[in-house]
Amino acid sequence: MIRILLILLIGMVTMQAAERKVNESNTVPGTNETALATFGGGCFWCTEALFERVKGVKSAISGYAGGAVDKPTYKQVCSGATGHAEVIQVQYNPKEVSYETLLEIFFDTHDPTTLNQQGNDKGTQYRSIILYHDTAQKDVVEKVKARMAKQHRDSITTEIVPLKKFYPAEDYHQDYFAKNPNAPYCAFVIRPKLQKFLKKQGKS
């Protein structure tokens, strides 16, 4: 009985360590070809739709980060009580697109000078935030932020903090634009922003 309990305990510790590795490292376990980036610039439906179309990005997962509650729900995050922001976690190939380029796209596709707001979306969950996975990413973030600050009249309010935990959002949030292209928010907010982005990328 004791032996079985020890095996179960070791298994739990191993799983927790693996989970921390996925959240805190900027590389995906089991591969040396992909890395992770985590940031939020307003509603994650919109941010996800943009980054899924960046060359070199393998996936963009909508989720929550930057708060203090374990496994928050969308309803809890929307209340503002958990401290989480709507973010996406991007898995990308550094040989095809650099972390610096992803950050440049991030800053260029939302307003980093509005505090806790993007357009009509208001609340701390919509704040501009970058959650770096290691010190190397932090250095790049600071460099890009300083460069981008010169392009704005108002001060950049983007929060820059280490990633402690990323929680994937509920299934119905994933690929929301692709699944609901005619929903009002998708049609009137996401699609124009996406079209503008694709035109700038020369993909329209």
Distances (CA, A) of 68 to 93, 132, 142, 158, 188: 30, 17, 24, 19, 33
Q: Which residue has the tokens 């996975």?
A: 133
What is the length of the chain?
Answer: 204
Distances (CA, A) of 159 to 40, 65, 113, 163, 190: 10, 12, 11, 12, 23
DSSP structure class, residue 155: P
Catalytic residue among 43, 46, 78, 186: 43
46 is catalytic: no
Active site (catalytic) residues: 43
